[in-house]
Amino acid sequence: MKQKKVQIEIKVIPGAKKQEVKNLDDGTYCVKLKNAPEKGKANEELISIIASYFDVDKKSVSIVKGMRGRRKVLEIIS
């Protein structure tokens, strides 16, 4: 069985009141996170939300670009 790798662009909004994932018209995703960007907590929350949204294991989601920024590129292996 061949694994499929997909890269997606994400715009992150930390410190939101509720978690939310929106697929924008330009093919990017906007993700609202509850956690503030401190000690990697927001990145962990992002990986968890994206894994749930695409119905894959958390280990299958990784941040390729933008570990410290609001714009990120994630790789999803399914």
Matching residue, tokens 């894959």:
56
pLDDT of residue 2: 77
pLDDT of residue 1: 65
In contact, 30 and 24? CB cutoff 8 Å: yes
Give the CA dihedral 68, 35, 38, 61, nearest 10 degrees: -40
Half-sphere exposure of 3 (CA within 13 A, CB side): 9
Segments of the chain with pLDDT less than 50: none
List the chain domain ranges: 5-77
Class of domain 5-77 as given by CATH: alpha beta
Answer yes or no: pTM beyond 0.75: yes
pLDDT of residue 78: 87
Phi/psi-derived region of residue 29, left when phi > 0, alpha when psi is between -120 and 50, beta in every other case: beta
